Chains A and B, each alone.
Chain A
């Protein structure tokens, strides 16, 4: 069941953009790079860079104002598409995650069952705060569509019986959430997180020190700088330590820090703020096809596939809201029932929203299942401790 994989298409588009920039570097085309891209005197500046430059110069630069407004317009229509469809760093971060998945899969396979491997993955990737998400790190390798779909189907079947369901940390967390009267997080609008703090710091630091501070370490800009330096190294013998230092900075940011795009990137934070107005091309679950909403099975493949940490079934329970959706279509690709679509206009009443996160019957059933055994939090604790014991033993 090999199907069309948008991850590959996105990768090719990103490579094409890189190639255009690289060709422009040596053909006097004046194309520039993502810090400022365009022809001749017309340039679309990086919105963050444009803001920083205006703050540093303390004047309104026409091209910068136009660029910020243009990016805002794109974000309103298309959302945070830049992140998934053009940004090279996004792919580096994803590649790292895949590598880690492979490693954790190898180490987790010796532990007993899916629960054991998920705890190993959680401890290795450092995102222990959300077992439902970190569970995704347990399996699925380089061929995501095929492998993940197969693994997902087998997992759905394995988890479906009621006694098994309580052992799944993902299921426990969901039942704990839907058991609350009110949703435990924001379902709409913008969820402020660590990225926004760094964005504020970048703006404030630029105001104080008077130069675009973040641009010095921006991994997107440094990627293009590295491309240029490597080209100059071979073309002109332009030898410098910088050609090693820039990749090292990128590696520290993308590989050593946990989840650069989700937790640190101020450009992503700015785009997510801009995308707060976006209502088009938002992912929508067809609840009749969906295994969780339609059939009551425990399937969270879409949530696990999401690079942004969005939980489409219950947006409030996810790490972030739909304004962070980069339209990468990973959830649509991974859904075994093809229940997720990206309609141009939101279909009123059927779209993903906080008011109807999960059909009442499903959440009630889940609530019953949880309360029938023991209080949800305790059961989560027990599961986690059991995992730790299994891991040590």
Chain B
């Protein structure tokens, strides 16, 4: 302790001691090394409108939460560390509590895009945005069990769902823009209608790349 304590004073020069330099160097190295998390695997997430350019979103997002707060449908949730370290705290769509109508009645376009201060969300034309694609799991779907449910078909604004020959909904992938209304309306996990082994709703939105792959 004596050596550490007296060294800076004996030098009597600048008090930026060896220790300060070491702390700075180690801290700086840690921050630079942290940049490497970019190369860790991370999940593809459903992003709010304008956030489909993943690179642009990750570049600009400062995690200010404004997009999530202003969403009138409460369809935006913060991503977690489980979604990838790089994605933590970034906005993702959560269709369990709301769905995206692209703020079609708002004069300024989607509110989340307008609220984003760093243009991490930027969408020139909301009509062309595709958040994801709906995917139906027939094992969990109530209609497939002959219960005559067609909640998702009723709620779809884009004619992307219609009842097939066996009265089970069929997704028209080309028409679907992933607004999430069907997932939001799906009752397969509620009101005593839980199928065996079901962990999610019967119709969910998936990232476009996953569906097309």
Residues of A within 8 A of B (CB): 24-25, 27-33, 35-38, 40-41, 43, 45-46, 49-50, 52-53, 56-57, 61, 63-64, 67, 119, 122-123, 128-131, 173, 176, 180, 184-186, 191-198, 200-202, 204-206, 208-217, 221, 224-225, 228-229, 232, 236, 238, 240-242, 245, 263-264, 266, 319, 377, 380-381, 384-385, 387-388
- What does DSSP make chain B's interface, helix, strand, loop or mixed? helix
- Contact flag A63-B63 (CB < 8 Å), given A28-B70, A388-B2: no
A37 proximity list for chain B (CB < 8 A):
64
The reply to whether B69 and A32 contact each other, CB–CB distance below 8 Å, is yes
Q: Is the CB of A202 within 8 A of B24?
A: no
Contact B78 A228, beta carbon cutoff 8 Å:
yes
Q: A242-B88, A377-B6 are in contact. Are A32 and B82 (CB under 8 A)?
A: no
**Docked CA distance A169–B174 (Å):** 78
CB pairs A–B below 8 angstroms (21 shown): A24-B69, A32-B69, A36-B62, A45-B64, A49-B62, A53-B59, A67-B117, A129-B8, A185-B14, A186-B14, A193-B16, A195-B24, A198-B31, A201-B32, A205-B32, A212-B62, A213-B31, A213-B32, A225-B89, A242-B81, A266-B31
Contacts of A240 in B (CB 8 A): 80-82
A122 to B59, CA, bound (A): 42
Interchain CB contact under 8 A, B62 and A53: yes
Task: Tell me, yes or no, whether B97 is within 8 Å of chain A by CB.
Answer: yes
How many B residues, CB 8 Å from partner? 63
Min CB gap A310→B, angstroms: 13
Q: Which 8 A-B pairs have the closest CB atoms?
A: A36-B64, A197-B24, A194-B24, A201-B28, A209-B35, A43-B117, A384-B2, A194-B23
Q: Knowing A28-B71, A30-B66, A37-B64 touch, does A201 contact B59 (C-beta < 8 A)?
A: no
Contact (A242, B2) CB under 8 Å given A28-B69, A63-B118, A264-B27: no
B 58-93 to A, binary, CB cutoff 8 A, 1 in contact else 0: 111111111001111010011011100110110000
The distance from the CB of A331 to the nearest CB of chain B, in whole angstroms, is 20
| Beta-carbon contact of A45 and B85 below 8 Å | no
In Å, the complex CA distance between A53 and B122 comes to 14
A222 to B63: give the CA distance in the assembly, Å.
10
5 other A-B residue contacts (CB within 8 Å) besides A33-B63, A201-B28, A216-B88: A28-B74, A31-B69, A186-B14, A212-B61, A229-B78
Give Cα A264 to B8, complex, Å. Answer: 20
Q: Which residues of B contact A130 (CB under 8 A)?
A: 8
Identify the B interface with A (CB < 8 A).
1-2, 4-10, 12-17, 19-21, 23-25, 27-29, 31-32, 34-38, 55-56, 58-66, 69-72, 74, 77-78, 80-82, 85-86, 88-89, 97, 114-115, 117-120
User: How close is B79's CB to chain A, nearest CB, in angstroms?
Assistant: 9
B residues in contact with A385, CB < 8 Å? 2
Please report the C-alpha to C-alpha distance between residue A185 and residue B12 in the assembled complex, in whole angstroms.
8
Partner of A192, one of B5, B16, B37, B78: B16
Contacts of B8 in A (CB 8 A): 129-130
Known: A64-B117, A194-B20. A210 touches B13 (CB 8 A): no
A192 CA / B114 CA spacing, docked (Å): 39
Using known A-B contacts A35-B62, A128-B4, A384-B2, determine if residue A217 contacts B24 with beta carbons closer than 8 Å. no
- The minimal Cβ–Cβ distance linking A340 to chain B, given in whole angstroms, is 23
Q: Give, as a whole number of angstroms, the nearest-CB distance from B113 to chain A.
A: 10
Select which of A36, A184, A384 is within 8 A of B6 by beta carbon: A384
- Given A40-B115, A45-B117, A238 contacting B77 (CB threshold 8 A): yes
Q: A216-B37, A228-B65 are in contact. Are A198 and B28 (CB under 8 A)?
A: yes
- A26 nearest CB across to chain B (Å): 8
A45 to chain B: which residues have CB within 8 Å?
A: 62, 64, 117-118
Q: Say which residue of B12, B28, B65 sits within 8 Å of A180 (CB atoms).
A: B12
